[in-house]
Amino acid sequence: MAETTELTSPPAASQAEPTSIFLRACRGLPVERTPVWLLRQAGRYLPEYRALRERHQLLELVSTPELAAQVTLLPVDLLGVDAAIVFSDILPPLVGMGLELEFAPGDGPRIRNPISSTRNVDLLAVPPAEETLQGTLEAIRIVRAELEPRGVPVIGFAGAPFTLASYAIEGGTSRDFTRTRAFMLSEPAAWKRLLTKLTTVQADYLLAQARAGAQALQVFDSWAGRALGREDYLRYVAPHNRELYAAVSRAGMPVVNFSLGVSSYLEEAAGCGGDVVGLDWHLPLDEAWSRIGFERPVQGNLDPAALLAPWRQLRVRIDDVLDRAGSRPGHVFNLGHGLVPQTPVDNVRRLVEHVRERTS
């Protein structure tokens, strides 16, 4: 296992007040306008991305530093967003653990050897990110060097333990997470070992991304909120998320806790850690923000489907999010989940421009 204690104190640069509006908003500091970036901002809705995908497999894009860096920079150049998120996926860390990952065309991710026994859990490796995910770490170095002079920060990311466990057990994206929940309830000790391994791998990976040059980190817990009720979340997931956020806080940079679908236990999910809470679109922004406390910065929360509506309707929905944020410090404009492939690029461009103009 890699030493993750190298960053016992934050690097000098992060101790000074940040100048970028994204990093300032993540600390609840005043900004001259609301920063904006978008979940899945470098995906298939961009013709430039689709052109690259015609020539390269997804995992090839992810593991080739120059290509991953090129994709990461697309939305910065084309849209002028206020942060770049390194182009990767949440699933590649599973490969180093011994799971066989593929992205079948039009079919989403597949694991060819999903976990079905306690023995499978015990055989999972816990390799250091520096050995298994160098492509992404190198992409971060390239993007950081490119964007540093332009004042645009780089975000690193990873999946939360439950969300990764669900892929490892289901073998793909699931509608109801039955296998995952059955495993969790019938093999609680193996479940704990599985989530402990995943937490170790993810914490190490996030800290490695910080060392490579990431200036903020985001944790995606996409499925715990959909799969579990509050009591099971608190018992089987929250302790691991708390451990992950505690470990990652040593990077000394803002960490975004994005937990999708947790409206019925938002306080508990946000309470696991992270400096900034990423909000999905299920609750009005002001209502969600008041529940976790206005002193905690938030990121969100436009419904990505609004981008499929004509501009007049879209603008009303953007303004609604901005009005609900009010003039409080600590708001990063974003979507409540990722951009979908059929989104018109022009709507995305107008969204970014509108947020800039309305909040300047």
**Window 173-192: residues binding ligand CP3 (CB under 6 A):** 173
Residue 46: CB minimum distance to ligand CP3, A: 9
Is 27 one of the binding residues for ligand CP3 (CB under 6 A)? Answer: no
Is 39 one of the binding residues for ligand CP3 (CB under 6 A)? Answer: yes
Neighbours of 180 (CB within 10 A): 25
Classify each residue of 70-79 as buried b or exposed e, where b means 16 or more C-beta atoms within 10 Å of its C-beta: bbbbbbbebb
Binding window for ligand CP3 (CB under 6 A); candidates: 88-96, 225-233, 248-256, 272-280? 88-96
Residue 105: CB minimum distance to ligand CP3, A: 7
Q: How many helices (H) and strands (E) does the chain have?
A: 19, 9
HSE value, Cβ hemisphere, 13 Å, CA-based, for 183? 26
Residue 88: CB minimum distance to ligand CP3, A: 6
Report the alpha-carbon distance of residue 238 to residue 245 in Å, rounded. 10
Identify whether the C-beta of residue 317 lies closer than 8 Å to the C-beta of residue 303. Answer: yes
Active site residues: 40, 44, 53, 89, 167
Tokens of 141: 């170095």
Residue 71: CB minimum distance to ligand CP3, A: 8
Is 108 one of the binding residues for ligand CP3 (CB under 6 A)? Answer: yes
Report the alpha-carbon distance of residue 359 to residue 83 in Å, rounded. 17
Identify whether the C-beta of residue 189 lies closer than 8 Å to the C-beta of residue 195. Answer: no
- Say which DSSP state 237 is in: I
36 strand-pairing partners: 333
Taking CB under 6 A as the criterion, the residue among 25, 46, 58, 321 binding ligand CP3 is: 58
Is 256 one of the binding residues for ligand CP3 (CB under 6 A)? Answer: no
**Window 297-336: residues binding ligand CP3 (CB under 6 A):** none
Is 70 one of the binding residues for ligand CP3 (CB under 6 A)? Answer: no
Residues 6+ apart with CB under 8 A from 305: 340
Taking CB under 6 A as the criterion, the residue among 23, 90, 201, 217 binding ligand CP3 is: 90
Is 201 one of the binding residues for ligand CP3 (CB under 6 A)? Answer: no
Q: Which residues bind ligand CP3 (CB under 6 A)?
A: 39-44, 53, 58, 85, 87, 89-91, 103, 108-109, 157, 173, 220, 222, 260, 338
